[in-house]
């Protein structure tokens, strides 16, 4: 490797890495149409400290909706069927934390290696690990995708473009239009000149390289590259004469750098989880009417409702794709329907990666609120147990009234707010529509 040392750090023995997974070949992902028919592995540099966030916790381990940022990125890659393995390079002091994340969220295909003192050194350690791959089901990759662990929004179709271009060209990288103009400054802090923005692009991630190109680039690069460089594509050009194919990527490729970016990432994930809900009516006429009124009302809130009588037979499909459930119970119904949903969700282990919302809408036929006095206590007890399994239960009470549409739109507003916010603080509350 690097002439200054055996590997990416001047004085570090190659780390055997830590296997944490079932063999890569046992991925339980349903076979998808493969756009890539050659072995591809991924290196996620995650060895930084996230200084620019101003937080104590490195940003890749900052959590939202109960999961660290890095877990969202890993999930994005492990959900791609043609990716055979993922190597995450983390600082030594975070290795145990990383192992815990992998085990808690049942990440597959993942191997953890020590990060380096710089981003290039971390990436280099990851590439080294791919070259020392010992798992029989995982051969040396044809293409290595490198992607910052703090860029959680990456999609298969763009990864496919990068992987295919990297295989053809030797290197490929994501680019985005510049937002600000780039200027050069004098040593006294004055404007020296500005670059013509239209001629330049921002280099983003993911980037792809044939294994040979990226491993050679790190063998030949200088200590200064390791210490101060920020661009893998430059190393491929400088040390392997490989001119990367540049592919404009979607705006979702941005990197979490500042504290505000964490809030933005959380908001995007919440928005993604809140686009639809499954309404279970039990087949009762009043419940079906309410569900139809809800469907109309939520469409104005940019949400779609799938209305089913139950979660049996074909309707069980909702359990595999929905993150939000609204159980409409009429009059003296108790919480048994909600309990049935919990059992079904647990059977599918549905709340492992994202919190699932279950809203009990209790609709009473008469003007009084005959719901038993026990209901507020019962829903609170059920909710506090379910919360430990990442299922958030909320209640909405609706009295039959002459202003049916208005009541239904009130329920819709409350339900969509509960789904959007997924607030632990309101779990178990029985709200009045």
Ligand X SMILES: O=P(O)(O)OC[C@@H](O)[C@@H](O)[C@@H](O)CO
Alpha helices by DSSP H, listed for 40-118, are: 69-78, 95-104
Residue 299 DSSP code? H
323 touches 303 (CB < 8 A): no
**Which range in 8-16, 62-70, 161-169, 225-233 contacts ligand X by CB under 6 A?**
225-233
Does residue 231 interact with ligand X by CB under 6 A? Answer: yes
How many residues belong to the site for ligand X (CB under 6 A)? 10
Rounded CA gap, 131 and 139, in Å? 9
Does residue 201 interact with ligand X by CB under 6 A? Answer: no
Does residue 150 interact with ligand CTP by CB under 6 A? Answer: yes
Contact residues for 72 (Cβ-Cβ < 8 A; gap 6+): 152, 265, 269
Q: Which is nearer to ligand CTP, 47 or 170 (CB)?
A: 47
- Single out the residue of 284, 295, 386, 388 nearest to residue 344, CA to CA: 386
Among residues 9, 17, 24, 45, the one that binds ligand CTP under rule CB under 6 A: 45
Does residue 194 interact with ligand X by CB under 6 A? Answer: no
Among residues 9, 148, 225, 261, the one that binds ligand X under rule CB under 6 A: 148
Considering the complex, what minimum distance in angstroms separates the CB of residue 209 from ligand X? Answer: 12
Does residue 148 interact with ligand CTP by CB under 6 A? Answer: yes
* Partner from ligand CTP, ligand X, none contacting 395, C-beta within 5 to 8 A by type: none
Rounded CA gap, 379 and 167, in Å? 56
**Which range in 78-86, 191-199, 228-236, 408-416 contacts ligand X by CB under 6 A?**
228-236
Rounded CA gap, 57 and 44, in Å? 18
* Partner from ligand CTP, ligand X, none contacting 169, C-beta within 5 to 8 A by type: none
Does residue 205 interact with ligand X by CB under 6 A? Answer: yes
How many beta carbons lie within 10 A of that of residue 250, not counting itself? 14
Rounded CA gap, 412 and 420, in Å? 12
Burial environment of residue 396 by CB neighbours within 10 A (0 to 12, 13 to 18, 19 or more): buried
3-class DSSP state for residue 306? strand
- Single out the residue of 290, 323, 321 nearest to residue 307, CA to CA: 290
Does residue 119 interact with ligand CTP by CB under 6 A? Answer: yes
Residue 15 DSSP code? P
Question: Which residues inside 374-413 make contact with ligand X, applying CB under 6 A?
Answer: none
Q: Which is nearer to ligand X, 151 or 420 (CB)?
A: 151
Site string for ligand CTP, 254-293 (x = CB under 6 A): -x-x------------------------------------
Which tokens in the block code for residue 38?
């050659």
Q: Which is nearer to ligand CTP, 50 or 249 (CB)?
A: 50
Among residues 12, 18, 49, 75, the one that binds ligand CTP under rule CB under 6 A: 49
Considering the complex, what minimum distance in angstroms separates the CB of residue 161 from ligand CTP? Answer: 22
Q: Which is nearer to ligand X, 39 or 47 (CB)?
A: 47
How many beta carbons lie within 10 A of that of residue 421, not counting itself? 14
Rounded CA gap, 369 and 119, in Å? 61
Does residue 227 interact with ligand CTP by CB under 6 A? Answer: no
Residues contributing to the site for ligand CTP (CB under 6 A):
45-52, 58, 60, 89, 115-119, 122, 148-150, 255, 257
- List residues binding ligand X (CB under 6 A): 119, 148, 203-205, 230-232, 255, 257
């Amino acid at each position: 490797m690097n002439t200054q040392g055996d590997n990416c750090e001047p004085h570090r023995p190659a780390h055997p890495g830590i296997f944490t997974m079932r063999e890569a070949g046992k991925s339980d992902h349903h076979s998808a149409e493969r756009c890539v028919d050659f072995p591809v592995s991924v290196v996620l540099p995650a060895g930084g400290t996230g200084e620019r966030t101003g937080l104590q916790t490195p940003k890749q381990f900052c959590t939202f909706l109960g999961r660290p940022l890095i877990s969202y990125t890993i999930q994005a890659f492990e959900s791609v069927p043609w990716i055979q393995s993922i190597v995450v390079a983390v600082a030594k002091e975070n290795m145990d934390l990383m192992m815990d994340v992998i085990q808690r969220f049942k990440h597959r295909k993942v191997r953890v290696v020590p990060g380096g003192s710089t981003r290039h050194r971390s990436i280099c350690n990851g590439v080294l690990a791919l070259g020392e791959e010992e798992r029989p089901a995982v051969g040396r990759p044809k293409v290595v995708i490198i992607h910052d662990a703090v860029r959680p929004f990456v999609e298969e179709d763009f990864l496919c473009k990068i992987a295919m271009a990297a295989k053809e060209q030797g290197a490929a990288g994501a680019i985005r239009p510049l937002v600000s103009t780039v200027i050069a400054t004098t040593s006294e802090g004055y404007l020296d000149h500005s670059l013509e923005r239209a001629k330049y692009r921002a280099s983003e991630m993911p980037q792809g390289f044939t294994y040979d190109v990226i491993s050679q680039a790190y063998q030949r690069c200088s200590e200064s590259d390791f210490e101060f460089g920020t661009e893998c594509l430059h190393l491929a050009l400088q040390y392997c004469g490989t001119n990367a194919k540049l592919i404009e990527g979607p705006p979702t490729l941005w990197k979490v750098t500042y504290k505000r970016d964490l809030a933005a990432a959380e908001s995007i994930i919440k928005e993604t989880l809140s686009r639809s809900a499954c309404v279970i009516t039990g087949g009762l006429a009043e419940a079906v009417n309410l569900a139809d009124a809800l469907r109309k009302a939520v469409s104005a809130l940019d949400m779609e409702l799938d209305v089913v009588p139950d979660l049996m037979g074909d309707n069980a499909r909702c359990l595999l794709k929905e993150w939000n459930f609204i159980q409409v119970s009429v009059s003296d119904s108790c919480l048994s329907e909600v309990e049935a949903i919990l059992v079904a969700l647990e059977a599918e282990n549905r709340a492992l990666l994202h919190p699932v919302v279950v809203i009990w809408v209790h609709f009473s036929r008469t003007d009084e609120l005959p719901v038993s006095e026990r209901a507020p206590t019962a829903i609170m007890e059920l909710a506090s147990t379910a919360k430990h399994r990442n299922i958030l239960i909320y209640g909405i009470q609706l009295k039959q009234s002459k202003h049916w549409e208005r009541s239904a739109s009130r329920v819709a507003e409350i339900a969509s707010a509960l789904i959007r916010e997924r607030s632990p603080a309101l779990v178990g509350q029985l709200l009045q529509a």
